[in-house]
Amino acid sequence: MFSLVLNMQKTKKYIIEGTIFFILFLAIFFTLDYLNMSYQDMNLTYGSWLVVLNIFMNIVMALLSTLMMNFSTALVELRASKGNGSNLGFLATVFGIFTYGCTSCVIAFMSAVGINLVVIALPFAGLPYKFLSLLLIIIGLGIIMREIKVGVCKIK
C-alpha cells in the first residue's frame, strides 16, 4: 500500500496540493520566527549560525508537514478515514503559535483555560521549542507511514 501512496504523490493533484501546503507551512513557520525575534535581531544577539539553523529547520519542518498532509490525504482516499498521526502536525503548529506568540497574550490565554505557568523565554530565541515541534512532526509522519504500511482495516 505504501508504494501506491508514493505513486499517488506523483499525480498532478498531489503536486499542486503539496506545493500549496509547502508554501502555507513556510509562511506559518517564518511568521512565527518573525513574531518571536526578527532575523536581524537574532543575528545580532546570537550570530548568523542561529539564523541559518532556523531557516533550515523551517524548510525541513515545512517539507515534512507537507509530506504528512499529502500522505494523510492519500490515506483518506484509500481507506476513507484519516490516520491517527495527521493531528500531530496541527498540534506542532498550535504549539508554535502558543510559544512564539506575544508573552502577555499567551499568559492571558493560558490563564483563561486554567494554566497559570508558561515558560517565558528559552535560550537561542526559542530554538528548543522548534526542536520539540520538529519532533512532533516526525512522530506524526512516522505514525502515518506505519498506518500506510500496515494497511489496517476495521473489518476483520
Q: How many domains does the chain have?
A: 1
Q: What is the tens place of the pLDDT at every residue in 31-45?
A: 878 877 888 988 998
Helices (H), 80-122: 86-100, 103-112
Q: What is the pLDDT of residue 44?
A: 92
Give the domain range for residue 137.
Answer: 2-150
Q: What percent of the chain has pLDDT over 70?
A: 69
Q: Is residue 47 part of a domain?
A: yes
Q: Is residue 38 part of a domain?
A: yes
Helices (H), 9-121: 12-36, 39-46, 48-79, 86-100, 103-112
What global pTM score does this model have?
A: 0.71
Mean pLDDT of 112-128: 58
Residue type present at position 107: I
- What is the helix (H) or strand (E) element at residue 123, kind and residue range? helix 123-150
Q: Is residue 156 part of a domain?
A: no
Q: What is the tens place of the pLDDT at every residue in 16-68?
A: 999 998 998 899 888 878 877 888 988 998 889 999 999 999 999 999 888 88
Q: Is residue 134 part of a domain?
A: yes
Residue type present at position 142: G
**Using alpha carbons only, how large is the chain's radius of gyration in Å?**
18
Looking from the CA of 56 toward its CB, the CA atoms found within 13 Å total 8
